[in-house]
Structure 1
Amino acid sequence: MQMRSEQPATEKTRYIIRYAEARDAAELSELRVRIDGETEHMDREAGEALIDERGFAELIEADRSSPVRLFLVAEADDRLVGYARCEAGSLRRFAHRAEFGVCVLRDYWGCGIGSSLLRAVLEWADAGETIAKIQLSVVATNESAIRLYRKYGFEIEGVLRNDRIHADGRFYDTVLMGRFRDRASLAGR
């Protein structure tokens, strides 16, 4: 599957979605810290669970060499502005299930980048034979993300009450969502 799609111009910008490459590692390390610091929607605060350039290079290589892992980046204005990862479980009982995560710089919210990354991940997963379910978690206050996920067939599977604490000292719920590929399409494989 070839992945390099140019997206139509929006009022804000043009962008492309492509596979992550080793040359992206340093920029991804900086991007992750920046995005984590821009919003409470991410699981981490800026600088937590830091992945350095070498760590990203290793992750990209592992993802590129696996049929059940995917690492995509969004590029706009000659720089990376977002990314998405999807990784299936290594245990046989859970090999059909993949975890998904996506993030986009705040300046590029509303440009369709998150939707394009999600669509690309779903196309990749649906084209393969292994992944039947994609799951994710999202803070309950991120209503726009929840609407987006529902639009693409994700359903709420549960809520973890008072699961996280934000900078304001308050507790917030985490929503667990999943999308199971149509059983009929699986039976035909």
Structure 2
Amino acid sequence: MIIENKEIEGKEIKWILRCPTKEDAYELSKLRVQIDGETENLDRELGEALLTPEGFEKIIYDDLMRERNIFLVAEVEGRIVGFSRCVGNELSRFRHKAEFGICIMKKYWGYGIGKVLLENIIMWTDTVGIEKISLNVVQTNTKAIQLYKRFGFVEEGILLNDRIHKDGNYYNTVVMGRLSKNR
């Protein structure tokens, strides 16, 4: 699925919200490695589950071809600084659902990019008839949890001791979901 490019005037920065093209694959591959190394809020550590540029090209192509998938990037001054991907479920019993995630370079946290990505994911899911979107978030990422709650997400459960961070401690994962207003 493709959306039109949107110029966003955010908190102290201007940026572009758009869908990626195959020319973005190399930059996205590098960006994902960088973001994985900047935070423990995501599932991967630096260098794990690498996605090559060819892997990103395939994802970009597949998402463009599928009605129930969308891939968005945030571009500041010609550089991609974050992205969000929402993937609809293809199984008949779960076609009403989709899962998504948001990744933003640490340097760009606090500028409202995550909020805009989330707003656009929600608008898109409501438009294409996805009735429920869900995500997992580490329990210590309280800013993200607060943002999701402001947009109608509820905590559906806690996965206890679900992950181990570099400090050797276990952390819980919060499962969150949002039902469409059109439901």
Q: Distance in 1 between matches of 2:4 and 2:179?
A: 23
Q: Deviations over 1:69-113 (max 9, x none)?
A: 000000002200000000011211011110110010000000010
Report the CA distance shift for 1:17/1:169 in structure 2 as closer, same or farther (over 3 A).
Answer: same
Q: Deviations over 1:109-158 (max 9, x none)?
A: 000100111111111110112x1000000000000000000011100000
The answer to whether residue 13 in structure 2 is matched with residue 50 in structure 1 is: no
Which residue of the partner structure matches residue 87 of structure 2? Answer: 87
User: What percent of counterpart residues are identical?
Assistant: 48
Q: Which runs of 5+ in 2 are unaligned?
A: none
Q: Secondary structure at the match of 1:110?
A: coil
Give the aligned residue type for 1:19.
C
Q: Which runs of 5+ in 1 are unaligned?
A: none
8 Å contact from structure 2 (residues 162, 171) kept in 1:
yes
Which residue of the partner structure matches residue 8 of structure 1? Answer: 9
Q: Distance in 1 between matches of 2:120 and 2:10?
A: 18
- Report the number of matched residues: 182
Q: Distance in 2 between matches of 1:114 and 1:136?
A: 14
Give the aligned residue type for 1:156.
E
Q: Distance in 2 between matches of 1:78 and 1:26?
A: 14
The answer to whether residue 140 in structure 2 is matched with residue 141 in structure 1 is: yes
Q: Deviations over 1:37-64 (max 9, x none)?
A: 0000010001111110000000000000
Over the residues paired in the alignment, what is the CA RMSD in angstroms? 1.0
The answer to whether residue 175 in structure 2 is matched with residue 176 in structure 1 is: yes
Q: Distance in 1 between matches of 2:180 and 2:134?
A: 11
Q: Distance in 2 between matches of 1:81 and 1:99?
A: 21
Give the aligned residue type for 2:25.
A
Q: CA deviation at 1:162?
A: 0.4
Aligned residue runs from structure 1 range 54-133, under 5 A: 54-129=54-129, 131-133=130-132
Give the aligned residue type for 2:56.
F
